[in-house]
Amino acid sequence: MKIGITVNFEINFYSNGLQQNIVFLNNLFNSYEDTSSYFIYQGKKLNEEFVDQNFCIPYEELFKENNFSFDLIILMGFSINKQTLKILKNKNRNAKFILMQCGNQYIENMTYSLFEKEKISPVDDLPELDEIWILPHYEKNKTYMKTYYKNEKVKVVPYLWQNLFINFLIKQSGDLFIKKAPHLFNSKGVIVMEPNLNSSKNCILPLYIVESYEAKFPKTIDSCNLLAADKLAQNEYFIKLVLQLKIYTNRTDFLKIHKRKTLINAISNYGSIVISHQQDNALNNLYFEVLSLGLPLLHNSSMISDYGYFYPENNIDEAVKQIELILNNHKKDFESYKKKTDQFIDLFSLENKKNRKLYYELIQNIN
């Protein structure tokens, strides 16, 4: 079976988890003996160690005469419109087309409709798709996706993760980071890595978790660092929120705003306690990166409540208790913590037999 997965190489692999998810899926398909998977790309061809040049095909090649030999195209890194889908289907009637939506389509539609001023067009409904795949943490959107895309064939597929990208960043960081346990870097500094693009993942609740902790345990935490928050610093409402916080008024140079950086950069420079918050976005690559390094992850994802340090929903009081647990116990309990997180990561591995079987059956049984 010959598979193509769409990807836009203009988007940085460390600024969008989707880019990494494309590589993970491509690697999985290429690990099957009877399957070859290719990047169907837009943008400039990349010379990266995790992108095999022999498996990259420009999108434009699909439209050349007698050049469409794919059995399956997965629209993942970019979609196409109705007219283009019909053209490609006419070139090869036996080819299957799947849309894999790795984001929260409902929140995207809501956010762009209510707040987005830029000229962004919604994705076509594409009723002629053979299937639509969504990730497990978006299962509650299944009927929404059926209605939005006018397609009843919506399936929930496994979430996949590899340590490929985080290991690449560690390799680049040099001997210092490799030789020292990551959780010992800035062990009393907090970092918040949410992208701050919409309601699903942002720094607001983590900010107030730190505020509450500081009120109960003054000057215990060294710093609170908000990554990918430089745009918020231009927002008048956000500025007024910050001006009300005791962690701003009572502590000098404690609350810091930074541009988006990689996790390795953030750990090395700012802190190793990662505070996260999400709404309807219970799995994301940040969790896997943090847990793979054995870092304390304070999060509210009910899907992984047995791992890291969990607080339910928006419960700040429980989050404060978990920070106290991190500061008092994480260092001495590190080995058992790391052993447990390794077991968690195995559940989503490309080598996991269940994941391999499910994806193989999916591509072999497209209706």
Q: What is the pLDDT of residue 171?
A: 85
Predicted structure pTM score: 0.94
What was the pLDDT predicted at 173?
80
Please tell me whether residues 204 and 303 are part of one structural domain: yes
Same domain membership, residue 131 and residue 63: yes
Structural domain harbouring 76: 2-161+349-364
Coil/strand/helix, residue 9 = coil
Neighbours of 97 (CB within 10 A): 20
Residues 103, 210 within the same domain: no
Residue entry with tokens 């090649």: 61
Q: What is the pLDDT of residue 48?
A: 78
Residue type, 347: L
Please indicate, yes or no, whether residues 113 and 195 belong to a single structural domain of this protein. no
Residue 178 is predicted with a pLDDT of 59
- Both 133 and 197 in a single domain? no
3, β-bridge pairs = 37, 72
Which structure tokens are listed for 55?
């498996």
DSSP calls for 259-283: ----HHHHHHHT-SEEE---SS---
Report the sign of the C-alpha dihedral through residues 209, 260, 108, 72, in that order: negative
Tokens, residue 84? 């283009």
- Asked whether residue 147 falls in the same domain as residue 174, the answer is no
Which pLDDT does position 252 carry in this prediction? 94
Exposure of 116 in the CB half-sphere (CA atoms within 13 A):
15
Whether residues 10 and 133 share a domain: the answer is yes
Residues 358 and 304 grouped into a single domain: no
Same domain? For 116 and 251 the reply is no
- As a whole number of angstroms, the distance between CA 252 and CA 222 comes to 11
CB atoms within 10 A of CB 89: 17
User: 220 and 151: one domain?
Assistant: no
pLDDT per residue rounded down to tens, the chain (367 residues) = 999 999 999 998 888 899 999 999 999 999 999 999 999 999 987 777 888 888 999 999 988 877 678 999 999 999 998 899 998 988 888 999 999 999 999 999 998 888 876 677 887 778 789 999 999 999 999 999 999 999 999 999 999 999 999 998 888 887 666 556 777 778 899 999 999 999 999 999 999 999 999 999 999 999 999 999 999 999 999 999 999 999 999 999 999 999 999 999 999 899 999 999 999 999 999 999 999 999 999 999 999 999 999 999 999 999 999 999 999 999 999 999 999 999 999 999 999 999 999 999 999 999 7
154 shares a domain with 66: yes
Residue 6 makes CB contacts below 8 A (sequence gap 6+) with: 40, 41, 42, 59, 73, 74, 75, 76, 77, 78, 79
Q: Give kind and range of the element (H or E) at residue 167.
A: helix 164-173
What pLDDT is stored for residue 330 in this prediction?
Answer: 94
Q: If you count DSSP H runs as helices and E runs as strands, how many of each does the chain have, helices first?
A: 14, 13
- Based on the domain organization, do 327 and 359 belong to the same domain? no
Task: Name the domain count of the chain.
Answer: 2
Instruction: Let me know: does 214 contact 324? Beta carbons within 8 Å.
Output: no
For residue 32 the two structure tokens come to 């099957």
- Name residue 192's beta-bridge partners: 226
Which domain CATH number covers 292? 3.40.50.2000
